[in-house]
Amino acid sequence: MQKEFPQIFILILNWKNKEDTIKCVTSVKKINYPAFSTVLIDNGSKDGSVEAFQELFPEITLLCNDKNLGYAEGNNVGIRYAMSKGADFILILNNDALVDSNILHAFVKASKDNPDGGIFGAKVLNQNNEMYHFGGMWDAKKCEFKTVLSSQKYKQVDYVCGCSFFIRRKVVETIGYLEPRFFLLWEESDYCFRAKQHFFLTYSVQDAIISHKISASFDGGKPQMHYFWWRNRLFWISRNTSKKEKVAAYKKVLLPEIFKIYKLRYLKSFELFLFKRFLPKDKVKKKSMKLKRYKAGCLGIRDYYLNRFGNTYKKV
């Protein structure tokens, strides 16, 4: 039988972003749940983050990694610590998220109401207080996840966003930790699918609310996101689909898309080479950034097939 107030460990991973992390921790301190601990994990920041946290939050456990281990392994450091301290549940929380004070009560209630659930996610709001994520469902026809928006109290989904990832202890004991080879992107959906293989379902919870910054990095911005998105998409498919599904995915979706991105890379390179001197600087900058995204995506595809995982991105 589940305790009335199970012990929860909240993990907040920081990498060179102490301003957002401080705001996140400040919101966490307002949570009205009686049995939780907060753990800060720093991923090798050299910007004074550690010193700031030690000064502002001396009561909070601070774990320091020697280098940037990425989302997956960085959080694994915290998960191992929480498990060693007897955590009943673990909440992985992005450092640019702000939480509703009732979030842990909502997650605990969801876990009691849905005993088949192993992983639970929040209703994620944007800066305008509008819902923009309530989990995702795998779309085999596009080889992507389709975002769910719903008003249901509990919604069974294929995965929940890693910005608020509530895990039952039994899941960790059964399937282990996040796959570190992803480094960044697709690791939370991989974890949800692994959990489902062991009969742990994933639910989004309407009353568990966070506000989350929508970073330009994830919104068509920085080239490295295209690198990790492409490499890890292929890696995810290799781990979570059947042989038949893989054949269909490559034939109908992946090979045409791979051909298209390589074609665009070389066409746009040639176009920029020919017309760069005749275009205004702002247009050159815009075209150069788009070309960098294509190049990064191509490198991600290459590195997947070369079996290069972890933090392997090289600036294009």
Mean pLDDT of the chain: 95
Q: How many CB atoms lie within 10 A of CB 193?
A: 17
Query: Distance (Å, rounded) from C-alpha 311 to C-alpha 298?
Result: 16
pLDDT of amino acid 279: 81
Q: Tokens at residue 215, please? A: 């970073």
pLDDT of amino acid 283: 85
101, 185, 214, 246 from 13: Cα distances, Å:
20, 15, 17, 34
The burial of 285, by beta-carbon neighbours within 10 Å (0-12 exposed, 13-18 middle, 19 or more buried), is given as: exposed
Confidence of residue 276 (pLDDT cuts 50, 70, 90): confident
pLDDT, one tens digit per residue, over 43-67 is 999 999 999 999 999 999 999 999 9
Confidence of residue 156 (pLDDT cuts 50, 70, 90): very high
pLDDT at 278 over 50: yes
Confidence of residue 316 (pLDDT cuts 50, 70, 90): confident
**pTM metric for this prediction:** 0.94
Q: Which of 193, 181, 199 is nearest to 137 (CA)?
A: 193
Query: Distance (Å, rounded) from C-alpha 28 to C-alpha 100?
Result: 8
Confidence of residue 184 (pLDDT cuts 50, 70, 90): very high
pLDDT of amino acid 282: 86
Report the pLDDT averaged over residues 201-210: 98
pLDDT of amino acid 1: 67
DSSP for the chain reads ---SS--EEEEEEESS-HHHHHHHHHHHTT---SSEEEEEEEES--SSHHHHHHHH-TTSEEEEESS--HHHHHHHHHHHHHHHTT-SEEEEEETTEEE-TTHHHHHHHHHHH-TTEEEEEEEEE-TTS-EEES-EEEETTTTEEEEP----SEEEESB--TTEEEEEHHHHHHH-S--GGG-SSSHHHHHHHHHHHTT-EEEEEEEEEEEE---GGGTT--HHHHHHHHHHHHHHHHHHS-HHHHHHHIIIIIHHHHHHHHHHHHHHHHHHHHHGGGS-HHHHHHHHHHHHHHHHHHHHHHHHHTT--SS-----
| Pick from 24-28, 36-40, 258-262, 311-315: least confident | 311-315
Q: What percent of the chain has pLDDT over 70?
A: 97
pLDDT of amino acid 129: 92
DSSP for 281-313 reads HHHHHHHHHHHHHHHHHHHHHHHHHTT--SS--
Q: How many CB atoms lie within 10 A of CB 316?
A: 16
pLDDT of amino acid 216: 40
pLDDT, one tens digit per residue, over 73-98 is 999 999 999 999 999 999 999 999 99
pLDDT at 215 over 70: no
- For the chain, what are the domain ranges? 8-214, 223-305
Query: Distance (Å, rounded) from C-alpha 258 to C-alpha 263?
Result: 9
Residue 146 and residue 139 in contact, taking contact as beta carbons nearer than 8 Å = yes
pLDDT, one tens digit per residue, over 246-273 is 999 999 999 999 999 999 999 989 888 8
Q: Which CATH class is domain 8-214?
A: alpha beta
Instruction: Determine the length of the chain.
Output: 316
pLDDT of amino acid 217: 41
pLDDT at 219 over 70: no
pLDDT of amino acid 315: 81
